Structure 1
Amino acid sequence: MHFATPENVEIGNNVELLTHLQLADKAMEEANVRYEIWLDGEEKHDWIDAEEQNPGEYSASHTFEENGTYHVIIHVENDSGLHEHEEHEIKVQ
């Protein structure tokens, strides 16, 4: 799993969240990918479904409404029972 961490994120701008998935050195196709996003210290979590744009490439867009550090957990599942998570941080100015 490779998450292209967005940089220089500003409030109110639409940001692309992009993840590349591989399994056994091949693009992992037809997975269910969701982004769970929340501002550090807050309880409200946003859930965003990603769409497969190219084989193994999943993207979604999100607009961050406040300054601070956001946590992003990428949830990946497939029909074979795979369920993986990976957490990242995005700084918003």
Structure 2
Amino acid sequence: MKTHVNAVGTPNLWPQLQRSILRVASVCKGYASKVYSGFANFVTNLQIGRMESVLRKMSDQELAQIGITQSEIKRHARFLVTYESDRT
């Protein structure tokens, strides 16, 4: 007796493959998000460092004109870089 392949219950692998693809995509998305976040933090810290450098080159009189002192440079640099205006 000849058995046809269609008569034998072949497993349907498509649902398993879909679940596997979704898992891999989810993991990749998580890693991409972490890499992007780390890069964004790196760039922000680089900008803050540059702003601090500019402010430290200013004299006490110049700093007084913008309303800060030498001890406030780090805080003010962070504020200037991270301040988000209403850009809509």
Normalised by the length of structure 2, the TM-score is: 0.20
Query: Which structure would you say has the larger Rg?
Result: 2
TM-score relative to the length of structure 1: 0.19
Q: State the structure with bigger RCO (CA 8 A, min sep 6), 1 or 2.
A: 1
Which of the pair is proportionally richer in helix? 2
